[in-house]
Amino acid sequence: MKQAVAFTLNGKRRSLAVDSERPLIWVLRGDLGLTGAKFGCGAGICGACTVLVGGQPVRSCATRIGEVAGKRVLTIEGLEKNGKLHPLQEAFVRERAFQCGFCTSGMILSAYAILLKTQSPSPAEIVRQMDDNLCRCGSHLRIVRAVQAAAGLMRGGGR
């Protein structure tokens, strides 16, 4: 049965009439047209569907829309500001930290959650905290480099 679910999506208040059991990924992709979160395993394993809820990475395939009521949801579409890419996005491009790109939005959002907590994560910290985000293209070393480069940009005054 549909009910009103209100939450903040990429900084804007939203209220949707939706089945509260509907997976968040299908609300984002299907109902709202935000296709940055990718559907990979559908079982909470690969991390391709990662978004942030209250600043924490969650699997949107394994999260019901009702669970985000009253919370802040950030998708990859919410990272750029005024047409300017976030330093993490810039660093991923500059370091060529992807091949097919299927894992990339989830990787960037997981990295963003790290950088919300620490300004200078070590490579080991990045690996440990992003270990559950899988990349089938083997871009891991470049991803770690990109996260460190973005951390440097942000320490230097980027957002």
45 or 93: CB nearest ligand FES: 45
Residues in 3-32 at the binding interface with ligand FES, rule: CB under 6 A = none
Interface residue with ligand FES, options 27, 36, 95, 98 (CB under 6 A)? 98
C-alpha separations of 59 from 10, 13, 138, 142, 148 in Å: 17, 21, 21, 23, 24
Instruction: Please tell me the distance from the alpha carbon of residue 35 to that of residue 9, in angstroms, as a whole number.
Output: 14
Based on the shown chain and the rule CB under 6 A, indicate whether residue 103 belongs to the binding site for ligand FES.
Answer: yes
Interface residue with ligand FES, options 4, 6, 45, 93 (CB under 6 A)? 45
Transcribe 9-77 into DSSP letters: ETTEEEEEEEETTSBHHHIIIIIS----S--SSSSSSS-TTEEEETTEEEEGGG-BGGGGTTSEEE-GG
Interface residue with ligand FES, options 16, 32, 41, 127 (CB under 6 A)? 41
26 or 39: CB nearest ligand FES: 39
Interface residue with ligand FES, options 8, 35, 39, 153 (CB under 6 A)? 39
Q: Which of 11, 15, 35, 16 is nearest to 25 (CA)?
A: 35
Based on the shown chain and the rule CB under 6 A, indicate whether residue 136 belongs to the binding site for ligand FES.
Answer: yes
Interface residue with ligand FES, options 19, 20, 35, 44 (CB under 6 A)? 44
